[in-house]
Amino acid sequence: MDNLDKAKETRQGEELDAKKIEPFLKDSIPGLSGPVTVGQFPSGHSNLTYLITVGDTGLVLRRPPFGTKAKTAHDMGREFKILSALSPHFPCPKPLAYTEDESIIGAPFYVMERIKGIILRKDPPKGIDFTPVMAKKLCENLIDLHVKLHGLDYKALGLENFGKPEGYITRQVEGWSRRYRAARTPDAPDFEEAMQWLAGRIPQGVTRAAVIHGDYKFDNVVLDPNDPLKIIGVLDWEMATVGDPLMDLGSSLGYWVEASDPAELEAMRMMPTNMPGCLNRSKLVTLYEALSGRKVDDWPFYFCFGLFRLAVIAQQIYYRFHKGETKDERFARLIFAVHILDQVCTQVIQGA
């Protein structure tokens, strides 16, 4: 099927040596045989994702990006741990092998099973006609699975020490503010208004705690090729932790561009969230409340945080490009997204 997510040739400077990977794979994963080839999935701005084919078996390898990295943002062992805990209970890839031996490809990495399916990018895939009814149902399924993730018993899964729920919101606001200031380039906005507003509006006495994905959105879920309304896998767990689920919801909806949004936001849309029938952000929040039983108080705070956090991620990646640490030309455009997100944060603050 043409709509299946496909790997391409590896980008220049991000190549992996199949001959070095082969012994590790065949020693670590039973039953593998045949030649090893390497491709790269073109999406993603952070950890790098490769398709490793061993004979007839397709596997996925994840490694940190080349160049300077944030200290805790690219911990392969952490990703491997949460997938190991979640995969028996939640639709996500089964992790197969992990190593900290940097002599193989120059960094720690892990290998997991490949979930073959459809991943939504900026526009609906060719050949699939999402009617308004289908688009609405897909949005509902996305939120329903998010609620299911937040409903898992993280202590029973052995993830009690995976994060620190107490003080989570404060640490997030302070941490992302610190990271933005460290990654700011001369052509970037200062974001001081948003950072100060968030710091002064942190909800007090919050005791909510759940497994949170940290980057839950359409292009991180895999749809069943035979039933594109069914989500069969959630990918990219590099930002997962245990924390406030409403912060996770805010982070997700920071990406959500709806049909009525201004042209500036439409210009940075990465997923088909504006399809006829798609729920808008307000309806998504209402649905989350109904399914989870949690009241989303002070939604502007969580939404503004989601927008700001997205700006920091974009700025950190742009910083690497600005400093010459990566030559991926996609990153050059991220500075425009940072400016747009600064404007939208200001609008949210003014309307709160």
How would CATH label the architecture of 18-113?
2-Layer Sandwich (3.30)
Task: Report the pLDDT averaged over residues 315-329.
Answer: 89
Residue 147: strand, helix, or coil = helix
Contacts of 163 (CB under 8 A, 6+ apart): 241, 242, 243
Q: What angle do CA 24, 28, 33 make, to 5 degrees?
A: 80
Kindly state the percentage of the chain with pLDDT values over 90. Answer: 84
| Model pLDDT for residues 199-223, shown as the tens digit of each residue | 999 999 888 999 999 999 999 999 9
pTM: 0.93
| Model pLDDT for residues 68-90, shown as the tens digit of each residue | 555 555 789 999 999 999 999 99
Partnered with residue 37 across adjacent β-strands are: 53
Q: At what angle do helices 299-322 and 168-183 cross, to 10 degrees?
A: 30
Task: Report the pLDDT averaged over residues 265-278.
Answer: 94
- Nearest-angstrom CA–CA distance, 261 and 284: 15
Q: Quickly list DSSP for 187-241.
A: TS---HHHHHHHHHTPPSS----EEE-SS-SGGGEEEETTEEEEEEEE---TT-E
| Model pLDDT for residues 168-190, shown as the tens digit of each residue | 999 999 999 999 999 999 999 99
Residue 4 pLDDT greater than 70, yes or no: no
pLDDT of residue 1: 43
- Nearest-angstrom CA–CA distance, 279 and 273: 8
Q: Quickly list DSSP for 65-83.
A: PSS---TTTT-HHHHHHHH
Residues counted in the chain: 352
Domain boundaries, the chain: 18-113, 132-351
pLDDT of residue 44: 61
Q: Are 294 and 203 in contact (CB under 8 A)?
A: no
Q: Are 315 and 309 in contact (CB under 8 A)?
A: no
Topology of domain 132-351 in CATH is Aminoglycoside 3'-phosphotransferase; Chain: A, domain 2 (3.90.1200)
Burial (0-12, 13-18, 19+ Cβ within 10 Å), 308: buried
| Model pLDDT for residues 153-168, shown as the tens digit of each residue | 999 999 999 999 999 9
Strand runs labelled E in the chain:
36-40, 48-54, 57-63, 95-99, 109-113, 210-212, 221-224, 227-234, 241-243
Partnered with residue 223 across adjacent β-strands are: 118, 231
